[in-house]
Amino acid sequence: MLLSRLDLIKKEISSINEYVPGKSIEDIVRAYGLDPDSVIKLGSNENPLGPSPMAVDALIEHAPQVNIYPSADASELVDALSGHTGFPAHNIVASGPGMDGLIDGLMRLTIARGDEVIIPMPTFSYYEIAARANGAVPVLVERNVDYAVDVKAVQDAESSRTKVVFLCSPNNPSGNLVPVEDVRAIAEFTHGLVFVDEAYVEFADSSLVHLVNEYDNIIVGRTFSKAFGLAGLRIGYGIMPQWLKSEYMRVATPFNVSVAAIAAGTSALSDTEHLTKSIELVREGREFLKEHIPFEVYDSQANFVMVDVAPLKARDVCESLLRKGIIVRDCTSFLGAGDSLVRVTVGTRKQNERVVENFGEVQGL
Ligand SMILES: Cc1ncc(COP(=O)(O)O)c(C=O)c1O
């Protein structure tokens, strides 16, 4: 019975490894019998300052209107994003749920069964899931030893079926940017699209978004989940050439950004004080972590740092930190990351001090 029911599911789905999220506070409280107030969550790159108070006010103000559908294309948020980014509205798509929704929409738009996407790994795992679910064959290429994208390997992986090359800048989990000349090179040799994921760009020294004005095959993905502190509302956006927005809107799920998300997102964009505070906290905190965690810590342009705990195993170090109520991310589930990398979200000063102290204690494992 079950076997015949499984016939209903597309063949490609069986090759997908389910997305592995960072652990929740509830998971840890249950597993280790901890006091919830003692647990710090530094495994999902969220904003430790919380949401913008202006966004919270907007949510409350709009709560009585949730019986009404939002605008189908979130045009109020798109207009606000136009002011924020300097790009005209015809280059911007607002998306829910989060940037993940944009990635999925892009796959639905471009992929016919057997088409290929190129993914330099280790990187954010949802590219591969969205690609496979839409019938694509992910072509995984290794990065260089310093986690830079190997442009030659990407070129070697290019084929007549390449539809999208995924570049994450700053990269999750390694924290490094993709140099502009590498993106240009890839955009020029590929006959596919180049998706530049800038989920963490607000914390970085530079952005690649200006390339959207120069290349008709570059699309930049962004999110409100990190610097804007709205991960729970699931809002993302894309900046893309006008021709691509026109095509994208043919397949976009109508009303995919909720009334609450449009209101809070628009307010968060105007709360520059909260944004600046969030960015400063991260910039200071990642230097502190890099200096004081007693293992190799990679330079990062994001709101997390990647720590190599070799010869220890990431799994053991994470387990030991979890027992102390500190949630960090074991990167073993990232394809190509090996088994000794741990990703730590930058927290408040107090949280960072606790992280450093506890990394000191795991040294003797
Ligand atoms: C690199 C990267 N891209 C995209 C996302 C997804 O963002 P969103 O929360 O907007 O779906 C994440 C989330 O962690 C991420 O790390």
Distance 269 CA to ligand 1 centre (A): 18
- Report the alpha-carbon distance of residue 221 to residue 240 in Å, rounded: 9
Distance 4 CA to ligand 1 centre (A): 35
Cis peptide before 311 (omega within 30 of 0): yes
CB 355 within 8 A of CB 347: yes
Burial (CB count within 10 angstroms: exposed 0-12, middle 13-18, buried 19+), residue 186: buried
Lowest mean pLDDT among 20-34, 252-266, 343-357: 20-34
Q: Measured on CA atoms in the order 32, 37, 38, 44, is the torsion positive or negative?
A: positive
Mean pLDDT calculated for residue range 338-359: 97
Does residue 1 carry a pLDDT above 60?
Answer: no
Confidence (pLDDT) at 19: 86
**Which is nearest to 172 in space by CA: 287, 300, 47?**
300
Confidence (pLDDT) at 90: 98
- Report the alpha-carbon distance of residue 185 to residue 360 in Å, rounded: 42
Distance 7 CA to ligand 1 centre (A): 32
Q: Residue 170 in 3-state DSSP?
A: coil
Q: Which atom belonging to ligand 1 lies closest to the Cα atom of 168? A: 1
Q: What is the pLDDT of residues 173-214, one digit of tens each?
A: 999 999 999 999 999 999 999 999 999 999 999 999 999 999
Confidence (pLDDT) at 362: 87
- Report the alpha-carbon distance of residue 99 to residue 104 in Å, rounded: 9
Q: Measured on CA atoms in the order 253, 255, 258, 261, is the torsion positive or negative?
A: positive
Confidence (pLDDT) at 12: 86
**Which is nearest to 136 in space by CA: 89, 80, 193?**
193
CB 92 within 8 A of CB 239: yes
51 lines ligand 1 (CB under 6 A): no
Mean model confidence pLDDT for the chain: 96
CB 217 within 8 A of CB 193: yes
Closest-CA residue, ligand 1 atom 3, reads 199
198 lines ligand 1 (CB under 6 A): no
Which of 223, 237, 343 to mutate to test ligand 1, by most ligand atoms within 8 A of the CB atom? 223
Confidence (pLDDT) at 4: 82
Lowest mean pLDDT among 21-25, 136-140, 198-202: 21-25
Q: What domains can you pick out in the chain, each with its CATH number? A: 2-50+273-362 (3.90.1150.10), 53-270 (3.40.640.10)
Q: Measured on CA atoms in the order 151, 157, 161, 162, is the torsion positive or negative?
A: negative
Confidence (pLDDT) at 54: 98
**Which is nearest to 43 in space by CA: 320, 328, 316?**
328
Lowest mean pLDDT among 9-13, 108-112, 257-261, 349-353: 9-13
Which of 41, 102, 124, 166 to mutate to test ligand 1, by most ligand atoms within 8 A of the CB atom? 124
Does residue 2 carry a pLDDT above 70?
Answer: no
231 lines ligand 1 (CB under 6 A): yes
174 lines ligand 1 (CB under 6 A): no
Confidence (pLDDT) at 3: 67
**Which is nearest to 301 in space by CA: 160, 173, 141?**
173
Distance 99 CA to ligand 1 centre (A): 6
- Report the alpha-carbon distance of residue 85 to residue 239 in Å, rounded: 9
- Report the alpha-carbon distance of residue 319 to residue 24 in Å, rounded: 14
98 lines ligand 1 (CB under 6 A): yes
Q: What is the pLDDT of residues 37-79, one digit of tens each?
A: 999 999 999 999 999 999 999 999 999 999 999 999 999 999 9
- Report the alpha-carbon distance of residue 345 to residue 231 in Å, rounded: 14
Label residue 11 by pLDDT band (50, 70, 90).
Answer: confident
Q: Which atom belonging to ligand 1 lies closest to the Cα atom of 45? A: 14
Distance 1 CA to ligand 1 centre (A): 38
Q: What is the pLDDT of residues 263-311, one digit of tens each?
A: 999 999 999 999 999 999 999 999 999 999 999 999 999 999 999 999 9
Q: What is the pLDDT of residues 90-101, one digit of tens each?
A: 999 999 999 999
